Amino acid sequence: MLDKLKTERISSTGTQSQVHALRTKLNREKKEWEAAEKERLRLEKVANEKRSKQMVEQKIENWSPKITETDLLSEKPSYDVFVEEINSSNDWNFLDKYDDWSKGQSLSSIKTKTNAIYHQSIIIHISELVSQLISKEISRENVLSDNILSGDINPMKENEMKLVLATGIEKHFTKVGEYISKNKFELTNEMVENFTIKLVEARMNYIEEVKRAKNTELAKAMVGNLLGMQTEEDFVSMVSKSYIGDHSVRIYTDEHSGRRELTDTKEIAEHIQLGSDLIIVLEDCYETDQENAGGHIKNRNIFEN
């Protein structure tokens, strides 16, 4: 009986030893597994953070901000505009979870890139607005006023033209002027050139209008003198006092059969009352001998004064 008890005790001791060894092994393997899992998760996070950065970089590269006129006066940072856009994308959950791209040096780099892209988009938008103003909106009714066209501005001076354009936009198109000022926009050489062409054309038309108006007034005076309706000195009288030779007023009207001279003062008056288109010519004649001898001007003071 004592031998049997001794045998059972030895057997029990052996079992405990085995259990202890098994527990030790399991604990070791658990720690090894936990360490391996921790390393796997670390490597997975590293890989996902890298992938997340690459995805953001790709989105920046493909980013084309849609600028509205409200954006042109907005104080919102370009980075915030960019994040709002990717926030609505299908990738946001992943990018939000692995967000190292939005920290430290990576964040600084993203802000620099988004600022450049956003600013360029704004410049393009303002350029389109200004170009449209020059081609379709700027006219004699605003920037190219008679006051500007009659001034001493020189179309050959680019800086002068640039100043006229900038001042005109600021005065007559205030909203676009605000966009230019807020975003420190610089008018391009092409814009100034296109504006200069438009100004030169407008000035030519203006000069022609002034000439036409002046000639109209002179013609009225000439006709008034001819019809005995004007007592003050007219252009014909001034010419006759200053130029050698004979001077006469000849009046024509266009008819179906051709151009016909009007010689009867009553008929001339009737045409004027009807508002007919008349061609009025100041005709001068002088002797060649007189011209060769003393020139055709006998009193320069009248015109010099």
Tens-binned pLDDT, residue by residue, of the chain (305 aa):
555 545 555 555 567 788 778 788 788 888 888 888 888 989 999 999 999 999 999 999 999 999 999 999 999 999 999 999 999 999 999 999 999 999 999 999 999 999 999 999 999 999 999 999 999 999 999 999 999 999 999 999 999 999 999 999 999 999 999 999 999 999 999 999 999 999 999 999 999 998 888 777 777 776 777 676 666 666 666 666 665 566 677 888 888 888 899 888 888 888 877 777 888 776 665 555 555 555 554 444 444 43
Sign of CA dihedral 85, 89, 91, 93: positive
Element (H, E) at 24: helix 2-61
DSSP secondary structure, 211-239, as one string: HHHHHHHHHHHHHHHHTT---S--HHHHH
Task: Please report, to the nearest 10 degrees, the dihedral formed by the alpha carbons of residues 84, 86, 89, 92 taken in order.
Answer: -100
How far is residue 305's CA from residue 303's CA, in Å, rounded to a whole number? 5
